[in-house]
Each structure stands twice: as C-alpha cells, then as structure tokens.
Chain A
Amino acid sequence: MDSCAISEITILPGHDKSGRPEKFDTLVIRPGDTISIVGPTGSGKTALINDIEVFAQNDTATGRTVLVNGKVPPEELVRDPSMKPVALITQNTKCLADLTVEAFLAMHVKARKINDPGIVQETVDLANQFTGEQIQPSCRITALSGGQTRSLMVADAILVSNAPLILLDEVENAGIFREKVIRVLKEHCKSVIFVTHDPLVSLLSDRRIVMRNGAVEKVLEPKGKEQQVLEMVERIDVTLCLFRERIRAGELLVEQGFTV
C-alpha cells in the first residue's frame, strides 16, 4: 500500500462499558500525527487501538467505526496484512523465526516483492538509531533483547511494511529511544499512536486521548502549553539515562543535593 494513498483515518464514536455514548464527534488521524492514549488500567486503551487495527465497523465490543479516507475500507485492505495500512506492535509481539536479522528482513522484503538490495541494511541502521545496544545483521533474531526486537520491528514497519499508521502498545518498557522514534516517524510522514503510561511519550505527542470506563473521555491538544513541563521531563529523562548507564557500569551513585 502506497502510504500517500491514505490521507486520513477517522474514528467514529461507540459507547462506554455501561453503554453510554462516547463524547466525541470524530477523531481524525492524518499523516505525521503523534497521538498518545492514556488512562488507568482497564479503561479501554488497548481496545481502542484494536478497533483501529481491525477497522471496526460497529462490530466490536465498543461499537466504534473506523473509516479510511472517510469511507468503509475495502476488504482486502483490512484482511491482507501486506495491504493493511496499520502496523501494530505490542509487548507480546515476538519474532519467533530462528533466523539471522539479515535473513529475517530479507524474507519480509521478498514477501513484499521489494526490489531494493539496500533496504535490509537501511532497516538495520534505522533500528540501531532506536536502541543503545547495536544490532548486527548476522545476529540471530531469537537472541536479540526486548529493546532490540522492538527497535527492529519499528524500523521494519517504517521501511519494509511502509505502514502509514503505526500503533505501539506500551513499548516504553522495552527500553528504546522514544524521542528518536517519534522524530523519525514524523520525518517519514508516518502517524503513530502510543498506548502509554510514560510522561515523556505523552508530553511529546501532539494530542492525548484520555480513556475512562471503556470510552474516550476527552481529547487534549496542548499546542505548546505544556512546553515548560516537557522540558523538565526531558531533563529528568536525561538524568535518569545517565544514572542507568552508571548503574550498569557498576558505580555507586553517592551525589547529594543536586538539581535536575
């Protein structure tokens, strides 16, 4: 699927767990959008991205409808994973094949009938921008760490799948460079939806969907109003990263009375 062919994905409201209608009219996702979905556990965050992933037509538990370019998407777009404009990556998503990174990517490239000999290396290079632990093309997929696997899947979704919309379900726990992922997705004109509990990812998103009791409670658009807090959280994040590296290196952290 040519990503330019998808100009927008529209979500029409369903109802909450008690059957009350949701409070939004439409939710439109356009190329380059960064959206986070937040809310307590059990509030319906994953159900919302699942609705998008299956292009719900008022036939899921939530009663939502998802349109592509304002219309019910053609069946092959929903059913054929290679035509689907959406790639979902969750904490459960695994690469099971006992192949090298190179062979694994080559297999996907072949299945997609892409004639670009450089794309495997490009994908590995991109994945390496998302993770601190370098991935070698000759590594076995099954030996990669959680963060490396997630990084590779995101890079694969961007370059090989070329999916216009990427759904990431709580990937922050996997230890990938979140800011970098968001920046690269924007550069490639991809939209991304994060299901997240992470303050940095939430604050970096253009819009924030707040979930409660199975329904969209509100949609926040900070438009720069959170800039000061974002800068503080970014500083805290840098500090935490430094501490993490020092702990990994075997240091004792004995500073006192410093500011973030």
Chain B
Amino acid sequence: MKLIIIAGPPSAGKTAVSRQIIRHFLPEKKIAYLKIDVVRAFEDEEMRAEFGIPARKVYSGDLCPDHTGIMVLADALSWAEECGAEIFIVESAGLCLRCSPYTTQSLGIVVLSAVSGMNSPLKMGPMISLADIAVITKTDLVSQSEKEVFRERTKEVAPHVEIIETNAIQGTGLRYLMRAIDRMEEISDPSNIMLRGIPPLGVCTICVGKREIGWQKHFGVVRKLEGADDLFRGD
C-alpha cells in the first residue's frame, strides 16, 4: 500500500487535489481516504458519494489535529489494509503551520494556494520544508509575476521540494504529481513509520485549558515578548 499525506492551510485546495488523485488512479487502483479535522468535516461523505471508495474522518476536538493524525495513523493503516486499499490518502486539517504531519515511508504533499499572498510560503516552515512535493493551486487566478515570486519563495523555504503548479479544480499540470505517485515506494515496514519532523512543544498550561493571558499566569514552557526569539525557557 502507498501512503500519501496531504497537508496545507485551510482552503488551499487539499480536497481538490485529493479528488484529482482519486479520479486519476481509481480506474486501476483501490483507494481509501481519511480526513482529519477539528470540529466538522464532510469530505468523507463526499468522497464516498462521488467515488464509492472507503472513506472516513476523525475529529481532533481539543487535541491538535496533527497530533491526532499521528495518534490514529497506525490504526488507520490497519483499516486501509483491511479495505484492500493500494493507495491510502490521509488529508490533514491544516491549521497551525508549525506542525508537519509527514511520516517516513509516505509521500508528503503540501498544498499551497497562490492567492494566499506571496509571503505565505515564508510563514510556514516545516509544513513545506519537510514535504516531498508542493502543489501550488489557483495559479490561474494570479498574475504571472506573482506566480513566479510565489515559486521563488517556496524554493527559498525548501530548495529540494518538487513544485507543481495547478488549477486543481481543472487538474491542469497535475501530470507530474501523478507521475510521482506512480513512482513512489510502497510502505515496507508499517511498524517502523516515524514522523519526519519534531512537533512543536505542546506542554504549556494553555494546552491543558488555562485561559488567562500573560506568561506570569502560566508554568511549564513560557515565553516573553522580549528576548527569547526561537528559544523556549522552562520556568
């Protein structure tokens, strides 16, 4: 079974890209689909209705959705295997831009929208830099110049990521994505699948539900406005 993990900010076009992958491979391959979201999601019902494939969703609720994804992934792989899937697509909720849900033995795809502004690739480090492929959607809506600058900035964050530009609704230019899926390796050792990156520290008192503002009201990992930059300091 091939594992595809799709991440990207909300409304970038992750589901449109998933649909194109399913549409392309469905005639020959069995595909299963999992959507991870926070409060509400409808993609599983849509995929079932449109393509008749096994599809399900999981809500993360109070937990970070990418953490949820990692927690449930082993179970999800077993489920997809039971469904007889040859390709398993996991689509993340795409929220904080600090996490990146890609694992080893998978194809990591980040979906970015060209209309989200030219600085957006610079703002979401590991979600892009740990991906294998960046699919830039909605390129039909922006000027040539912005398209070129968006690409430059994506490359700046992740020089080795393969960039694919598309209008994901029409599926233009996605031949290179399909080729990469054709060529990717299957899962070889499911018990040894690891997260590629280190998730952000999530051990603060805000995580556990304290709502007061200001670092003085919290303990564990705290940060002040001045002085810390990227350093976290325990208190």
Contacts and interface: CB of A to CB of B under 8 A. Distances in A.
B191 interface: no
Interface string A71-91: 000010001111000011110
B147 A95 contact: no
B51 to A, nearest CB: 18
B146 A95 contact: yes
A80 B140 CA distance: 14
B57 interface: no
Nearest to B176: A79
A97 B116 CA distance: 10
B142 interface: yes
Interface stretch (B165-173, B193-201, B207-215): B165-173
A247 B207 CA distance: 63
Interface in B51-97: none
A247 B147 CA distance: 38
Interface size bucket, B side? 20 to 34
Interface string B9-29: 000000000000000000000
Interface in B129-187: 139-149, 151-152, 163-165, 170, 172-173, 175-176
A49 to B, nearest CB: 11
Contact of B149 (A88, A111, A163): A111
Given A59-B175, A96-B117, A81 B140 contact: no
Contacts of A104: 145
Nearest to B114: A96
A37 B145 CA distance: 26
B14 to A, nearest CB: 20
Given A81-B148, A111-B152, A96 B142 contact: yes
Q: Which secondary structure dominates chain B's binding surface?
A: helix
Contacts of A81: 139, 144, 147-148, 151, 165
B145 A79 contact: no
Contacts of B172: 50, 53-54, 60
Contacts of A90: 140
A106 to B, nearest CB: 10
A93 B176 CA distance: 24
A87 B142 CA distance: 12
A160 B117 CA distance: 21
A107 B149 contact: yes
A48 interface: no
A168 interface: no
Interface of A: 50, 53-54, 57, 59-60, 75, 79-82, 87-90, 92-97, 104-105, 107-108, 111-112, 153, 156-157, 160-161, 163
Interchain residue pairs A-B with the least CB separation, the first 6: A108-B145, A95-B143, A111-B148, A81-B147, A54-B172, A82-B148
Given A93-B142, A111-B148, 17 more contacts: A50-B170, A54-B172, A79-B164, A82-B148, A88-B140, A90-B140, A92-B141, A93-B143, A94-B141, A96-B117, A96-B143, A96-B146, A97-B146, A108-B144, A108-B148, A111-B145, A153-B144
